[in-house]
Amino acid sequence: MAHPVRFGLKSAGQDTAISDLRAVWRIADEAGFDHVWVFDHLASIGGGGPDRPIFEGWSLQAAMAVATQRCRIGCLVTGNTYRNPALLAKIAVTVDHLSGGRLEFGLGAAWAEVEHHMYGIAGLDHRVGRLSESLQILRALWTQPRTTFDGRYYQMQDAICNPKPLQQPHPPIWIGAGGERTLQLTARYADVWNASGASGPDEQAALSARLDEACAKISRDPATLRRSVQYAWNGQDRAALLGLAAERLRRGFTEHIVILPAHDSVAVAERAAEALPALRGLAA
């Protein structure tokens, strides 16, 4: 099964200003990028510590929905433990309607210990089990009149989620996964896999092969599962950007997200927009 090759921009929402985020979204929309992304953390991540400025990811997606007209929007990826799955289902439906059906729904098990510790968020010690139950609940809430679920971590009793998403049966589900259990969940529930835990193309390709094996175990055609990858670019060398994309295209990744540097996101987004025709030429 051949999937279209698509390109997007990601400005995470950390160490940036709302004006710069809006500028990136406008550039992505006007330049013809296929999608534009944020991430989902409650405290800043990386070497600078947790106290740097950071905006909440689903609020940003609601703003993206009304700030853009064409490109699809998403979060790579939502931390499952931060929100009850019924609340997350309602938020996602709201953003899907605000955007006119342009939401790409990204979800992962979550991992940042400092956030869970400082806010008293439970569940990181059973994060994969919680992710499994959430995926079942989300799909049921989006597609069924009422949902009853008696799990180890979540319980729903005649739960209602109206309205349903504009996209039927639900927005495309992207799962960020790199471990054996999360790859199994990806094979079962995802429309798109986002390579997680592997930085280079060789490691990403190896994970992709393991995902093929997980699909085979449940008799799913692995070609039905799109593969996505993220890579950072500083805007200095267009050839370097094209090389990053070309190498991953050769490995079967059709969804490409260029991560913009927080300190120079608008300028690099503009340079990425100038390079977009050349990126599309790689796919051709």
Residue 157 reports pLDDT greater than 70: yes
pLDDT, tens digit, for every residue of 118-138? 999 999 999 999 999 999 999
Domains belonging to the chain, first-starting first, are 6-283 (3.20.20.30)
In terms of pLDDT, which residue wins out, 199 or 201? Answer: 201
Q: Calculate what percentage of the chain has a pLDDT beyond 90.
A: 96
Task: Give the pTM.
Answer: 0.97
Q: Is the pLDDT of residue 45 over 90?
A: yes
CA gap 41, 217 in Å, rounded: 33
- Are 71 and 64 spatial neighbours (Cβ–Cβ below 8 Å)? no
pLDDT score recorded for residue 48: 87
Placement of tokens 């090389």 in the chain: 243
**Percent of the chain at pLDDT exceeding 70:** 100
Residue 14 DSSP class: B
- Confidence band, pLDDT 50/70/90 cuts, at residue 1: low
Total residues found in the chain within this entry: 284
Average pLDDT over all residues of the chain: 97
Q: Which two tokens stand for residue 99?
A: 């955007």
